[in-house]
Structures are given as structure tokens and as C-alpha cells.
Structure 1
Amino acid sequence: MPLPSAIRAIADASASRIVGAYFELSYRLLSAPAGREFLRAAAVGDAPAVHGYSTSEDVEAVLDAIQPSATDLLLDLGCGLGEVAIAVHRRTGCRVVGIDAAPDAIAEARRRAVEAGAGAAAAVRFHVGDLASPPVRGSGAYALDSLMFVPRPPQAIASVSRSLEPPGRIFVTFVDHRGLGRAAFARYIEAGGVRVERLEDVSSEFARRSRERAATARRLLRGGPSWTGRLGLRLVLVEEAIAGRLLARGRLRRWRFIVAWNPYRPAPGTTSRRRA
């Protein structure tokens, strides 16, 4: 293996371990009673109680983009605690396979699927694994605020797209910290070998959710939670303080987009499938 490739592989593995350890800590802290109350209170309306910024609008956008039927199998990339996967199954009857790098999150997701009833327990499965290498071939996929944490997101998105049944459609929400404009961000994603079919800047919604999450955490802290609950809520406040500063500087944007496999732009290292 050439030296640059070896260094990249080591860097990717190290970054994955760091991100995995951070999320594992966060999931454990928010599993305390105060953390569970935070997730419920931070959810808006009928939105799933998720560890992140996903909204009911995101779930509706997933269903609109992929339009799954009861015979489809969707992949939830970065499924977290499994609430979105269970909600998608309930809405459509489709099967869902959730993948996450955090074992604690997967254990909780499996528990919630069992609690949701026999139908969900049979149709919604969860695996610990690499988001860029799904264990099964799906008819579509979605990734809510997860793929920005994997090494080289454009390549990961393209890898998943090519593993799906044609046209390899993936719905993604993505928080970008570089402040790229619409055209630049589309080029960044398409560099992996997919085409962007739809792209929407939802940064204002993201900023509002960030403020709501911070306000909820501060309110629950006043209730005197346990030390694990306090740590979990303070971690939320640190995350939202950083997000607020980056948003104010125009460095942070949240995008909602749909990609599909681009047969005329093969991934690096592959041969073109374009016919004359």
C-alpha cells in the first residue's frame, strides 16, 4: 500500500474511533432519566425523540423522496436510538435496517423495537457497523445528520448509493462546518460519483432547533438531575454553544438533499459504465 494511502487509512480509522467514543459517551449520559426527558422534551410536535436535530419535516421529506412501499427495505444510516426507523415502518409498512457505530445506541434501539410491538420487532432490525458498508442491499436509504461524521463523506455516500437497488437514491441531512454555498456544496457531494437531485438549505430551521435544545437543557438542569444527567445536559449546552458561534459566523449550514447513483461519473478507481 503506498504511503499516502496508508496514512489516510490510519487517519480515517483514528477519526472513526474518536467519533465513536464521543457518541458512545453521549448516548450513555443521555440514557439517565434527565437525558431521556431531554430527548422527549426537545422533540417538536410528533417528531421522533432523537439524539440530534431531526424534525417531523425531515421524516416527511424522507417518505416523499423515497416513497417506500410495504415490500421495500430501507437503510437507516446512523440510526441512533431507532426512533426514526420505527416511525418510518409504522407509516409505510416497509422493512428498515438501522446501522450505527455506537453499540449502546443499537442496544437501546433493539429494546425500543421490541416495545413497539411484534410488527416492528420483526420488520425493523439494527446492526452495529460502518455506515458506508451496509450489511444488506436496500431499495433506498436515508441518513439524518450522520454522514458528516464518517471519513470522506462524498465517497461514503457514493459507496452506499452503488450498493442499493437502482437508482440508488439516498435522502440526507448534513451539517457542514465550512460555510459552503449551494453550488460549492453540490460539487463537494457529487465529487464522490453521485448526482444531487434536490438540495435545500435548512440552516434557519437548524438554528431554531439548536436554540430550543439549549433552552430545554437549561430548564432541565434547574430541576437538579443526577450527576450523569447533569453531565449529559451540560454536554448538550457545549454542543449548542459551539453551533451557535459557528452559525453566527456563517460557517455552519444544514442541508437537506437527495442523491442517486450517477452512471456517467464513476467513483475514483472504477471504470466508466457509459455507453457510446
Structure 2
Amino acid sequence: MNIVDNGQHKNELSSVINKDDPERLQRTIFVGNLPVSVIQKVNHKKLKTIFSQFGKIESVRFRSIAFSELLPRKLAFIKGKFHPERDVLNAYIVYKEKSSVQQAIAMNSQVFFGKHLRVDSVANPQNHDRKRTVFIGSLAFDAQEEELWSYFESCGEIENVRIVRDSKTNVGKGFAYVQFKERVSVELALKLNDTKLGTRKIRVMRCEKGNHVNSKSKIGKAKFGKELMEGVRVNSKYKHKKDNYYLSLAK
């Protein structure tokens, strides 16, 4: 990804791709900032319809789901115990053909159910350009990506927004990155330093090496675990009583 929290994505990838199957990784894309409602059968179909225009999909896995109760993940998912203040999640979509990946990346920054998507190749993530990026500090821990999209859109066209979150709780760590399509937008964004976003005054700085951003994601170099997938995969094994469709939850 252009801007990533490597710790979080390494943890996710360790359960997404088998270490002995690098070819599968080449066929996988990351989709971030998806609305939680995409888990519902009708919305899941819409997600697959949009991304299947780039090729046949082998599987879809949802990750970074925040739950409201301390229950086993599978049980919390089936009961729909999603955290009310964390209404987005990530997904990994595996295509049948590697050629579909580059085409699917065109969905980056497109709006899906009111959320700007972050889409990138897992094996070959896009380079991050610090000169087109600003660091945002002093964010509220419950800040959402869409707030930043709205706040900085007057500065120029945005390529992606990334709030860095705790890998276990999915709660924000209080800082984020906004990458623009043009470098001139950075100068305009810097003028928003010490202005209020919500109830807090935010810090807006040039993106430097010490600001927790890597020049290129190491997502493709993650240490893969034994399980092929661990998240939530939709297929036809287990019936979801609430929505009357089928779920398979990997072990």
C-alpha cells in the first residue's frame, strides 16, 4: 500500500497467504476502508460485482473487524457484535488470474457505499511519494478516514488516506497520512496546521522519514503463516441465522 502500518498488515497477511504459495500472493489485492455493511449478503454481492469486472474472483476475505464484545471472533461475527464506532474493515480479494490485479487497482480512491476505497497490489504495492504526502498528528482516536477526505479535499485531489491503527483493537493511534496526486497540494494542506478537526487541533506536517512512513510497503515481504486464510470468507458451508446466507470461518 502507499501508506501502511506494516505491523497491522503483516499480521493480516500472515493469515491470508500461505508462505509456500507466492503465486497466490501475486493474484491478491488489498481493499481498505470498506463499510462493515459489506458483510451482509446483498452488499457482499455488490462488492464482488464491482471487482469481478476485472476478472474472475477466487475468494474474498474480510480482516480488521472490530467487535463490541469480548467473544471468540467467529461467535462475535455470527452474532453481529460489531463495534459501533469502527464501521469499516479491510478485505483481501484473490483473483483467478494475476493480470486482474493491475486493472483492479483503478478502484483506488473510488467511493463505495460512502467510503473512499484504498486498493493496492499485495505483492507489488505502489511506491509512496513523501513529497505528495502530509503527516497528520493529534487526531482523535475515533477519527475516521472519511473525515480526513472531507477536511483536506479543498487542498487538491487526494490519492489516499491512511489512519494508522492498533493491529489488535483497530483503534486509531492518533496520527494519519494524506497523499495527494499533486505536490502543490501539500503546501495548501500545511496551512491547515493547528486548525480544528472535530474537537481537537491537529498537526499538519510534511511527511519525513521519522514520521513512521516507509518509502515502500513491505507487505509483500511479510512472514506468512501456515494457514491459507484466517479471516472471514463467504461461501456455502455455515448458515448465518440472522441474514440467511452462508459463511465459512477459517480456523
Bin of the TM-score, shorter chain as denominator length: under 0.3
Which protein has the bigger strand share?
2
Q: Which has the larger radius of gyration?
A: 1
Question: RCO (CA 8 Å, sep 6+): is it higher in 1 or 2?
Answer: 2
Q: Normalising by the residue count of structure 2, what TM-score does the alignment of the two structures yield? A: 0.25
TM-score (norm 1): 0.24
